[in-house]
Amino acid sequence: MKFILFVEGKSEKQALKPFLKKWLDPKLPQPVKIELVDLGGWSNLVKDAEMKAELHLNGPKKEEIIAIIGLLDLYEAKFN
C-alpha cells in the first residue's frame, strides 16, 4: 500500500517523506509507502495534478495506491 503526495518543489519533497513516515508508521499496523512527486512549482501543481493523478490511478501499480494527495503552499500562489 502506498499513497502519492504531489508537492511543489524539492524542499517539500526532501522534508515531508521522513516527517510523515516518522509520524505515520507507529500508528499503522504495517508501514505505508509514500511516493512524493515534485511537480515543479505551484502553477504546475494546479495545472497538472488532475492529469498526473489519472496517470497514476490507471497505471500498472494502481492496485497499490490508497490515496493521492496534493500539497499546495498558498503563501505565494496567485490564482486568477
Q: Is residue 55 part of a domain?
A: yes
| Beta-bridge mates of residue 35 | 4
Mean pLDDT on 25-30: 91
What are the pLDDT digits (tens) for 47-73? 999 999 999 999 999 999 999 999 887
Q: Nine-digit cell at 55?
A: 496517470
Residue 55 belongs to domain spanning: 1-12+31-61
Other Cβ atoms less than 10 A from the Cβ of 45: the count is 22
Residue 3 lies in a domain: yes
Predicted confidence at residue 9, as pLDDT, reads 84
Residue 3, sorted as left (phi over 0), alpha (psi -120 to 50) or beta, turns out to be beta
Percent of the chain with pLDDT over 70: 91
**pTM score > 0.75 for this model?**
yes
- Report the domain count for the chain: 1
